[in-house]
Amino acid sequence: MRPTRLRLPRRWRKGQVLRLPDPVPGIRPGSFVFLGQAGDTFTVRRLTEDESGDLCETDESHDLSVQHADKFVPAMSIGRI
């Protein structure tokens, strides 16, 4: 029997800004940019605001199981990076 590939529950695009309202193990809430999916994992990088209020990527990135994808919410009002 062929294994079923896990998929993200939403159609996310590279560079899309996501919010994590509640923590997941090892990751505190905040804003992230979606970097892509490889197999059953997806990668996000934390965003922070600089002194002028613009969003900037940090060095903090996370590879997560797609099982955690439902914890992230697209930040439509912020847009894409």
Predicted pLDDT of residue 21: 95
User: Phi, psi at residue 69, to the nearest 5°?
Assistant: -60, -35
Q: For residue 57, give the amino acid letter.
A: E
Predicted pLDDT of residue 8: 72
User: Phi, psi at residue 18, to the nearest 5°?
Assistant: -125, 150
Both tokens assigned to 48: 């922070």
Whether pLDDT at 72 is above 60? yes
pLDDT in tens, 6-62: 667 667 889 999 999 999 989 999 999 999 999 889 999 999 999 998 889 999 999
- The pTM assigned to this predicted structure is 0.81
Calculate Rg over the CA atoms of the chain.
13
